[in-house]
């Protein structure tokens, strides 16, 4: 996979552990290293080539399977 994958997470809110967990899963499934990008304001987004494919909402965080599925779909459409 030659796509760029980033996980933007809110460092002050302590979302780094979740970003690392998702990055580990993406590494296992796609053999890629997602770039972790610290942010603020409660952000948690997974981006493929700068397009947001999964993010935290009022309902909560997407689970790892949802993120894997979203990245898979983004890769297939490109």
- Could you read off the pLDDT of 45-74 as tens digits, one per residue? 999 999 999 999 999 999 999 999 999 999
Q: Which phi and psi (to 5°) does residue 75 adopt? A: -70, -40
Q: Which of 39, 34, 28 shows the shortest CA–CA distance to 53?
A: 34
pLDDT, averaged across the chain: 94
Domain 5-77, what fold?
Glutaredoxin (3.40.30)
What is the tally of helices (H) and strands (E) in the chain?
2, 4
Question: pLDDT at residue 77 above 80?
Answer: no
- Dihedral sign, CA of 7, 13, 14, 17? negative
Convert the pLDDT of each residue in 29-43 to its tens digit. Answer: 999 999 999 999 999
Q: Which of 8, 46, 12, 10 shows the shortest CA–CA distance to 30?
A: 46
The confidence band for 78, taking pLDDT boundaries of 50, 70 and 90, is low
The confidence band for 76, taking pLDDT boundaries of 50, 70 and 90, is confident
Distance of CA 24 to the CA centre of its chain: 10
């Amino acid at each position: 996979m030659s796509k760029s994958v980033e996980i933007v997470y809110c460092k002050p809110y302590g979302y780094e552990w979740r970003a690392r967990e998702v990055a580990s899963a993406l590494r296992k499934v796609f053999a890629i290293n997602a770039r972790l990008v610290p942010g603020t304001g409660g952000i948690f987004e997974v981006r493929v080539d700068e397009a947001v494919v999964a993010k935290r909402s009022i309902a909560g965080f997407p689970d790892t399977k949802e993120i894997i599925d979203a990245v898979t779909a983004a890769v297939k459409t490109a």
